[in-house]
Amino acid sequence: MKSLAEELPPEIASRVHPDWRKNEADYWTNRDALLGQYRNLWVAFADGKVIASGSSPVEVFKAAHLSGLHPFVTLAGREDEPSRMRRVTFPYDTTYPIEPLPVLNVEFRTVSGSPGMMFDRVIPDTGADASALPWPDCQALQLDVSQGTPGRITGVAGSAIVTLGFLVWVWLDGQEYPCRLQADFYNPDRILGRGVLNQLEILFRGPAREVIVNP
């Protein structure tokens, strides 16, 4: 079976950690035996076994990355199902004013408890399964490609693309949240998805044109 990593840009694919490639291949060798126990659960597979599993991709992703084993992370039995990034572009009707877009200023951290980088114009997207930053932002964060986990994302009407997933932390309103971040090599939008949004309360005050975090 073709590795997910081979669908990344070549200069990125060459830097994916070899342990991840081995764990991916080993998962597919053992997949049928695993489905009886883990079907429809997120799993992290490394060293020939499942080292973490559960219904929350964020928690499994966190456990996977903290293990240091470069696990293959997937939704067992639904491996080809991409994380959905519900973005779609419509042409403006020039007879109407442009609708305001809710955005946040968000600090992304590569190390828990340590200051990170503040990014503006981050879209709080309740339709996105995971968060995403364009690749230049990920480079600014100095994310290590060899620590990334290849996976798929898709938009509302677009085809699935392969990205790299990273465990980072989001600092927002005086609190820190684990975040499953997708490096997006093709789109410029900064997206804060449900993996983080479901950990806090968000109030969208459309008429006042403001977003309130943990009101």
CA 39 – CA 112 distance, rounded (Å) = 31
Whether residue 59 is found in the same domain as residue 134: no
Amino acid at 106: V
Its domain, for residue 183, covers 104-213
- The answer on 73 and 170 residing in a single domain is no
The model's pLDDT over 105-145, given as tens digits with 9 standing for 90+, comes to 899 999 999 999 999 888 888 889 999 999 999 999 999 99
Q: Within 10 Å of residue 37's Cβ, how many Cβ atoms? A: 11
pLDDT of residue 42: 96
Residue with tokens 């950690």: 17
Q: Comparing 131 with 186, which gets the higher pLDDT?
A: 131
| Pick from 145, 113, 127: nearest CA to 189 | 127
Instruction: Lay out the sheet containing 72-75: strands in order across.
Output: 49-54, 42-46, 72-75
Q: Same domain, yes or no, for 45 and 110?
A: no
pLDDT value at position 210? 81
Each residue's pLDDT tens digit, 22-51: 999 999 999 999 999 999 999 999 999 999
Cα–Cα separations (whole angstroms), residue 154 to 114, 159, 174: 31, 6, 31
Residues 50 and 112 in one domain: no
Same domain? For 43 and 114 the reply is: no
Q: Which of 28, 43, 78 is the last residue of a domain?
A: 78
189 within domain boundaries: yes
pTM above 0.85, yes or no: no
Domain contains 97? no
Helices (H), the chain: 10-13, 18-38, 57-67, 135-140, 194-197
